[in-house]
């Protein structure tokens, strides 16, 4: 029975030939590639039924050499005007050495995910929870230094080129311009972490009353405590806020990140709040206009600034008419305190 030549095989190969091709691939990437920052995605509040995360965080970035395959420019480079503003659909394709990723980066990513779960660094990861170190993962981010842009990995091809000498040598990564939607950036790299401030995204604006006259530091973490109804022997109370699945729970304090501090006007813009307070009916008055963050004290972790706030409100954004709709509701609402709550809880 005829077979292909065992001396010139293009499908099985030999370890020496495979090592040679791998060395050549890595050398080409180092000569003609660029250093980008790779950021694994951390899923926060993962819904294990739907396998969706209500919030994501990016806590560190790793410099990785990659080759820009779409060297002639962005693919599908269009700017679209949507109801949420101008949307960029730029796309790029990057090529990463598979052996370098598995040798230098995969062990660190594996230990990072295991540390989050409180496991030993060498334990196997649970892919159903969006954790893998075997390859770059869809949803992870790449910081592109040339235009100070961040791209999200949409698809990872592992068979391009198609198994030369019986083995794959690269990961071909298809990326699209990242659109910020409330993710937490705390990588320690200013050019990346300021991505939280650039977009016109949801912010809570606090009107400050008095404090220790120390200024908050941009991007620092602050803790918010409820001081609305002090109890004898206690300076603060637990918040009663909604959790992601939709039920109320007690929260001793809420964390947030400082986006802007206007000291002369006593205005503080906070984002990335750990718990939010959707409109709820007040148990006493039946009103829905009361904000539980109106009477709070805000304390900075780094600056140690401490200020009292007497008003919290959503910061104005373009293409957002939620305030107008809410005010129209307040003007026309008819509230009957005798009605029962159809949801069974406040």
Q: How many CB atoms lie within 10 A of CB 342?
A: 5
Same domain, 37 and 171: yes
Average pLDDT of the chain, as a whole number: 80
**Where is pLDDT greater, at 236 or 176?**
176
In this structure, the answer to whether residues 186 and 211 fall within a common structural domain is no
Q: What pairs with residue 299 in β-bridges? A: 223, 306
State whether 98 and 24 are in the same domain: yes
User: Quick one: 223 and 278 in the same domain?
Assistant: yes
CA distances from 175 to 52, 56, 150, 168, 178 (A): 20, 18, 9, 20, 9
Q: Distance between CA 52 and CA 60 in Å, rounded?
A: 21
pLDDT digits (tens, 9 = 90+) for 82-122: 655 666 678 889 999 999 999 999 999 999 999 888 888 88
Give the residue from 194, 221, 253 where a domain finishes: 194
Domain that holds residue 259: 200-332
**Statement to judge: residues 169 and 50 lie in one domain:** yes
Give the pLDDT band (50/70/90) at residue 50.
confident
Q: Is residue 337 part of a domain?
A: no
Give Cα 130 distance to the centre of its chain: 14
Domain end call among 140, 168, 194: 194
pLDDT at 301 over 80: yes
Residue 317 lies in a domain: yes
User: Comparing 29-33, 59-63, 198-202, 296-300, which segment has the lowest mean pLDDT?
Assistant: 198-202
Residues 6+ apart with CB under 8 A from 140: 38, 39, 40, 41, 152, 153
Q: How many domains does the chain have?
A: 2
Indicate if the pLDDT at residue 58 is higher than 60: yes
H or E element in which residue 185 lies: strand 184-185
Longest CA span, the chain: 93
pLDDT band at 153 (very low <50, low <70, confident <90, very high): very high
Residue 276 banded pLDDT, cuts 50, 70, 90: confident
Alpha helices in 162-240 (DSSP H): 190-193
Question: Of the ranges 224-238, 247-261, 298-312, which one carries the lowest mean pLDDT score?
Answer: 224-238
Most confident stretch, 39-53, 111-125, 187-201, 284-298: 111-125
Task: Say yes or no to pLDDT of 334 above 60.
Answer: no
Pair (128, 226) in one structural domain: no
Q: Establish if 65 belongs to a structural domain.
A: yes
Average pLDDT over residues 216-225: 90
Whether residue 31 is contained in a domain is answered as yes
Domain check: are 213 and 154 in the same one? no
Q: Are 90 and 152 in contact (CB under 8 A)?
A: no
| Residue from 177, 212, 169, 3 nearest 76 by CA | 177
Least confident of 33-42, 45-54, 114-123, 227-236: 227-236
Q: Is 53 helix (H, G, I), strand (E, B) or coil?
A: strand
- Provide the total of helices (H) and of strands (E) in the chain, helices listed first: 5, 19
Cα dihedral sign, 306-256-311-262? positive
Distance separating alpha carbons of residues 20 and 185, to the nearest angstrom:
39
162 and 35 housed in the same domain: yes
**Across residues 22-51, what is the average pLDDT?**
86
Least confident of 22-31, 44-53, 96-105: 44-53
Same domain, 207 and 161: no
Together in a domain, 106 and 183: yes
* Phi-psi label, residue 272: left if phi above 0, alpha if psi -120 to 50, beta otherwise: left
Quote the percentage of the chain above a pLDDT of 90: 24
Do residue 141 and residue 110 come from a single domain? yes
Q: Return the percentage of the chain with pLDDT > 70, whole number.
A: 74
Last residue of a domain, one of 178, 194, 210: 194
Residue 309's SS3 state is: strand
281 within domain boundaries: yes
Q: What is the pLDDT of residue 231?
A: 55
Top-ranked range on mean pLDDT: pick from 171-175, 178-182, 320-324? 171-175
pLDDT at 131 exceeding the cut of 50: yes
Could you tell me the pLDDT band of residue 240, with boundaries at 50, 70 and 90? confident
* Residues 68 and 142 sit within 8 Å (Cβ to Cβ): no
Segment 66-82 mean pLDDT: 73
The pLDDT-based confidence of 32 (bands split at 50, 70, 90) is very high
**Rounded CA separation 283/296 (Å):** 20
- Evaluate if residue 5 carries a pLDDT over 90: no
What whole-number distance in Å separates Cα of residue 98 and Cα of residue 25?
A: 10
Q: What pLDDT score does 346 carry? A: 46
Q: How many CB atoms lie within 10 A of CB 61?
A: 21
Element containing residue 34 per DSSP (H, E): strand 34-39
237 and 226 in contact (C-beta within 8 Å)?
Answer: yes
- Model confidence at 126, pLDDT cuts 50, 70, 90, reads confident
Task: Please check whether residues 43 and 166 belong to one and the same domain.
Answer: yes
Q: Which of 267, 263, 116, 272 is nearest to 194 (CA)?
A: 272
């Amino acid at each position: 029975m005829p077979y292909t030549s065992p001396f010139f095989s293009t499908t099985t190969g030999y370890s020496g030939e495979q090592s040679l091709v791998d060395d050549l691939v890595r050398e080409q990437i180092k000569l003609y590639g660029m250093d980008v920052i790779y950021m694994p995605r951390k899923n926060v509040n993962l819904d294990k039924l739907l396998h969706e995360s209500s919030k994501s965080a990016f806590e560190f970035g790793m410099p990785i050499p990659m080759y820009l395959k779409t060297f002639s420019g962005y693919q599908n480079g269009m700017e679209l005007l949507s109801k949420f503003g101008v949307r960029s659909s730029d796309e790029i394709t990057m090529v990463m050495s598979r052996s370098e990723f598995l040798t230098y980066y995969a062990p660190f990513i594996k230990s990072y995910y295991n540390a989050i779960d409180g496991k030993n660094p060498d334990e196997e990861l649970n892919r159903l929870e969006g954790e893998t170190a075997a390859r770059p993962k869809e949803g992870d981010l790449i910081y592109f230094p040339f235009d100070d842009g961040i791209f999200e990995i949409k698809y990872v091809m592992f068979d391009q080129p198609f198994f030369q000498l019986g083995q794959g040598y690269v990961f071909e990564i298809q990326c699209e311009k990242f659109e910020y939607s409330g993710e937490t950036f705390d990588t320690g790299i200013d050019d990346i972490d300021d991505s939280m401030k650039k977009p016109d995204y949801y912010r809570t604006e606090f009107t400050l009353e008095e404090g220790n006259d120390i200024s908050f530091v941009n991007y620092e973490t602050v803790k918010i405590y409820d001081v609305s109804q002090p109890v004898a022997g206690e300076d603060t109370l637990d918040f009663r806020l909604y959790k992601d699945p939709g039920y109320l729970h007690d929260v001793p304090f809420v964390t947030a990140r400082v986006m802007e501090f206007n000291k002369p006007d006593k205005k503080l813009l906070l984002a990335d709040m750990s718990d939010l307070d959707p409109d709820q009916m007040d148990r006493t008055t039946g009103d829905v206009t009361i904000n539980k963050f109106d009477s709070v004290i805000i304390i900075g972790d780094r600056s140690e600034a401490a200020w009292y706030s007497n008003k919290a409100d959503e910061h104005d954004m373009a293409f957002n008419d939620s305030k107008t709709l809410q005010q129209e509701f307040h003007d026309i609402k008819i509230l009957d305190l005798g009605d029962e709550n159809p949801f069974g809880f406040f």
